[in-house]
Structure 1
Amino acid sequence: MAAVTFCVAAPETERLDRFVADQLALSRTVAARLIAAKRVTRDGVPLRASARLERGAVVTVELPAEDPPRTYAPAHRQLSFVYEDEHLAVLDKPPGLVVHPGPGHWDDTLVNVLVGRGTALSQGSAAGRPGIVHRLDRDTSGLLLVAKTDSAHRRLARLIEQRKVERVYAALAWGHFANSPVDIEAPITRHPKDRKRMTVLAGGRHAVTHAAVVARFAQTDLLRLTLGTGRTHQVRVHLAHVGHPVVGDPEYALGGSRRVTPSERRPAEQLEALAPRQLLHAARLAFDHPISGVRVTLRSEWPADLAPALACAAGDATLLAQRNPLQYLGFFASDE
């Protein structure tokens, strides 16, 4: 176990967990774990996460020894990268691909494919998740950020924690929002009866999604959704919570087309039949490069497998011929 000792130079620090995270380029979660494990001390006395230190205080942080890196079985699958350098990569994740190994998916995940490609990956902030800075659900497509070095990973995790990584989704949702834009703020936690699902429940983790209607169709809205936080299944759970679930969502659809007025149900059923998965796509990613500081802004257009459903919802067959349907519908207009 290695120990790091430093002396406070500022008149007073912010909370200890934030201060340690900043000083050692750690995520706040990792810093909090070190404090909870009594590995952050002053004069041999463990400190609390809420502690604030004055100028001259000497703090010691005991860092756990690094475990030997795990090995991952290589897998092979075609991936599309929209940005890559020696520090990080951004890929356009296809649907059906689990991001990291876990029960039922030990050797067929994105991590395994990256290993098979020979991509360098950071050790990661959690066991079994090398390089993974944030996640997308298996059947959600779009832009995903991967860290190649530990330094880039720590800084990217910090940027996400500070809400400085812009993650924007496109979704087709049932029904129509009465107001736009709107902030959906509701705590999210594991469903008490189904641990594979998430739900809105008092006492859950704070979660915010910023929603705006891009286009209004007969039974649906095309939405632009910006993450204020990044909880598991956040967009899907929040939209279901406000009564506008994502079209094609197998977990949170709340009845899907059956929710539509009987007189409008047949076209709704036709739309639902064209949805091979949830109509949710990570369409925009913007952040300051963790090493150079240069702004990186990336876009991903609506995927081909969801194009028939979008055209059906819009009642516009010409969308099938559009190379850039999101741009055509004005999804990226606020970025220009």
Structure 2
Amino acid sequence: MTSEESHVVSEAESGTRIDKLLTTILPDVSRSQLQMWIKDGYVLVDGNQVKSNYKCEEAQMITWEVPEPATIEIEPENISLDIVYEDKDVIVVNKPRGMVVHPSAGHYAGTLVNALLYHCNDLSGINGEIRPGIVHRIDRDTSGLLMVAKHDQAHQKLAEQLQEKRVKRSYEAIVHGAIPHEYGTIDAPLGRDPKDRQKMGVITGGKPAITHFEVIERINNNYTHVKCVLETGRTHQIRVHMKYIGFPLVGDPKYGPRKTLKIDGQALHARELGFEHPTTNEWMHFEVEPPAIFNETLQKVKEFY
């Protein structure tokens, strides 16, 4: 079972059926699946079990837990992978834009994990059957480098490096606005946005989050091509931090402005990855160019904006 999530019913949401309301809060989960969760008691309103047709009232607290699929088998799928490096301990993969990293509600096929299971059978089991080998994640529409552990010992050592901030992760992004500073550091805690549980936000009492950025190029005073280096790795960290300082990512459907370029997801690419090899302790460094859609977007803002 995952950790509990919650949502406070707003005035605008009052009178909405709970199953319908949850489809807006959890867009990746089908309405029929949500109705099953409600029936099975995984969804509560003010601590009480209700039926799918229950109409919510303002200020009520909806809580839910997503049950781990107990019987689901994650099938290996013959999906092409861009393997940047591989040995008996670790795989470094260049994840394409649009691919979900591991199976979750609404995404049980076509993920990076499905592809990895077809590619090799020896993946670490620390994160369970749903996330074999996955040490860290990037968002579906973020492209770029990920390290994957082939066995538990490698997984533990790579996870320790992440926790101790010894892994180098740098990204390229295109953001709205002309950032006036050449360099900067955003040190702002992140947590679930209390007004919208689908989003993360800068909140008091959130988990520490630090992003360093460097301007690569300012474009026509309307956009900036920027490099971001993660010191921590919170969910949506770069996307939320750049919005927080007033420069949201181009194309970001969740945190960007309404009037942004239509590129089906944020212009964000995990370009660099560096870590100590979990067995040899050798420093490993990898770098991959952004995908064509990123470069096309960059060229587009230069020519037309």
Into which bin does the TM-score normalised by the smaller protein fall? Answer: 0.7 to 0.9
User: Residue 272 of structure 2 contacts residue 288 of structure 2 at CA under 8 Å; is this kept in 1?
Assistant: yes
Aligned to 1:207: 209
CA contact (8 A) 1:216 1:222 kept: yes
Q: Which protein has greater RCO, CA pairs closer than 8 Å, 6+ apart?
A: 2
2:286 counterpart letter in structure 1: L
State, as a whole percentage, how many aligned pairs show the same letter: 42
**Pairing 1:239–2:242 present:** yes
Question: Does residue 154 in structure 1 map to residue 156 in structure 2?
Answer: yes
**Rounded Cα–Cα distance in structure 2 between residues aligned with 1:119 and 1:177:** 46
1:290 matched to 2:278: yes
Q: TM-score, normalised by structure 1?
A: 0.66
Q: 2:226 aligns with which of 214, 217, 223?
A: 223
Among candidates 108, 114, 117, match of residue 106 of structure 1: 108
What amino acid does structure 2 have at the position aligned with 1:304?
Answer: A
Instruction: Please list every run of 5 or more consecutive structure 2 residues that lacks an aligned counterpart in the other structure.
Output: 1-69
Give runs of aligned pairs for residues 57-136 of structure 1, distance below 5 A.
71-125=73-127, 128-136=130-138
Distance in 2 separating the partners of 1:136 and 1:76: 21
Aligned residues, how many? 234
What CA distance in whole angstroms lies between the structure 2 residues aligned with 1:215 and 1:307? 13
1:239-277 deviations in Å (ceiling 9; x for gaps): 0111100100000003344xxxxxxxxxxxxxx14x342
**1:202 shift after superposition:** 0.7
Structure holding more helix per residue: 1
In the TM superposition, residue 69 of structure 1 has moved relative to its aligned partner by 12
User: Do residues 252 (structure 1) and 255 (structure 2) align?
Assistant: yes
**Does the 8 Å contact 2:94/2:144 carry over to 1?**
yes
Counterparts of 2:245 and 2:259, CA distance in 1: 14
Alignment check: 8 A CA contact 1:131 1:153 kept: yes
Q: CA deviation at 1:180?
A: 2.2
Pairing 1:137-148 to 2, within 5 Å after superposition: 137-148=139-150
TM-score, structure 2 as length reference: 0.73
Larger Rg: 1
The one-letter amino acid of 2:112's match is L
Q: Which of 189, 192, 197 pairs up with 2:191?
A: 189
| Cα contact 1:97–1:139 (8 A) shared by 2 | yes
1:312 aligned counterpart, secondary structure: helix
> Does the 8 Å CA contact 2:90/2:148 hold for their aligned counterparts?
yes
Match among 279, 299, 309 for residue 297 of structure 2: 309
Partner of residue 29, structure 2 = none
Counterpart secondary structure, 2:257: coil
8 Å CA contact 2:179, 2:218 repeated in 1: no
Q: Distance in 1 between matches of 2:92 and 2:301?
A: 30
What is the CA–CA distance in structure 2 between the aligned matches of 1:295 and 1:159, rounded to whole Å?
A: 12
301-310 or 160-169: which moved more?
301-310
Q: 1:227 to 1:239 in 2, by over 3 A?
A: same
Counterpart of 2:140 in 1: which secondary structure?
coil
Partner SS for 1:195: strand
CA distance in 2: counterparts of 1:302 and 1:140, whole angstroms: 10
Residue equivalent to 1:19? none
The answer on whether the counterparts of 1:69 and 1:123 sit within 8 Å (CA) in structure 2 is no
Distance in 2 (alpha carbons) for counterparts of 1:236 and 1:158? 25
Greater shift, 189-198 or 95-104, is seen at: 189-198
1:98 Cα offset (Å): 0.8
